[in-house]
């Protein structure tokens, strides 16, 4: 086994090709994240958060997380933003339309942006810039379920809430797709591994 094929995941050394986050682990981590978010905003005495989630990938994570947040008593206003940046497995340019942001009504808001995964950071950076251009917000935080270890990440963003740090591999499941496929999988898995299993 080559050293670079080995990853360190939740205390267990695994080969990258074995990479998987099971349904139960996802569920548990979402609950923990909700607690972290609840604690953060309670400490700041913020009682209403404006949640903006990024379509399409974040839809499953968002629906799980907001119900956990609700059970902790957090009040939310939830809106979506549509961003298309991925074609297949290669990160392309981020296309944002002003009109998609105009009815978000974020003046004076405490904004929490949710996304499925952070790779180059271009998507969340572009969203941040666009919101700051249009609105006078009170605060903005980011929550991503997965954060890819990406040494060539071009944009440095301060992500306050992270579900799992994962290696630099292409993953699918739990809302994440490859050309529209595999979003419905209840677990997260290395695409390469999934392809191999299906051979
Ligand atoms: P970024 O702008 O490079 O950070 O890309 C973030 C977006 O690309 C995410 O919102 C995802 O939709 C998509 N993406 C990045 N990595 C993966 C992956 O491993 N699987 C599926 N989608 C991904
Ligand atoms: Mg996305």
Phi then psi for residue 33, to 5 deg, are -60, -45
Nearest to 121 by CA among 73, 156, 72: 156
Q: In this model, does residue 21 exceed pLDDT 70?
A: yes
The number of the ligand nearest the C-alpha atom of 159 reads: 1
Pocket test for ligand 1, best of 119, 152, 182, 191 (most atoms within 8 A of CB): 119
pLDDT of residue 95: 75
Torsional class of 88: left (φ above 0), alpha (ψ -120 to 50), beta (otherwise): left
Q: In this model, does residue 99 exceed pLDDT 90?
A: no
Residues assigned a catalytic role: 119
Q: In this model, does residue 124 exceed pLDDT 60?
A: yes
pLDDT of residue 2: 42
The number of the ligand nearest the C-alpha atom of 121 reads: 1
Q: In this model, does residue 97 exceed pLDDT 70?
A: yes
Q: In this model, does residue 6 exceed pLDDT 60?
A: no
Mean pLDDT (the chain) is 88
What confidence tens digit (pLDDT) does each residue in 144-166 have? 999 998 767 668 789 999 999 99
The atom of ligand 1 lying closest to the CA of 125 is 2
Q: In this model, does residue 16 exceed pLDDT 90?
A: no
Q: What is the DSSP string of 139-179?
A: EEEEEEEEEE--TT-SS----SEEEEEE-SS-EEBTTB-BT
Task: Please state the domain extents for the chain.
Answer: 25-166
CATH 3.40.50.300, applies to 25-166 = no
Cα-to-centroid distance, 24 and ligand 2 (Å): 23
Average pLDDT over every residue of 16-23: 86
């Amino acid at each position: 086994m080559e050293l670079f094929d080995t990853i360190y995941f939740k205390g267990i050394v695994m080969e990258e090709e074995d990479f998987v986050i099971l349904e139960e682990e996802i569920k548990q981590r979402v609950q923990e994240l909700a607690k972290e978010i609840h604690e953060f905003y309670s400490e700041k005495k913020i009682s209403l958060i404006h949640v903006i989630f990024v379509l399409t990938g974040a839809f499953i994570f968002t629906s799980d997380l907001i119900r956990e947040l609700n059970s902790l008593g957090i009040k939310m206003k939830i809106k979506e933003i549509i961003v298309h940046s991925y074609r297949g497995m290669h990160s392309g340019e981020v296309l944002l339309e002003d009109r998609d942001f105009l009815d978000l009504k974020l003046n004076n808001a405490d904004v929490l942006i949710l996304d499925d995964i952070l790779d180059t950071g271009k998507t969340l950076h572009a969203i941040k810039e666009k919101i700051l251009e249009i609105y006078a917000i009170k605060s903005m935080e980011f929550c991503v379920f997965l954060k890819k270890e990406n040494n060539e990440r071009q944009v440095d963003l301060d992500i306050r809430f992270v579900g799992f740090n994962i290696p630099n591999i292409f993953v699918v499941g739990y809302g994440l797709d490859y050309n529209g496929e595999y979003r419905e999988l209840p677990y997260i898995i290395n695409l390469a591994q999934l392809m191999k299993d299906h051979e």
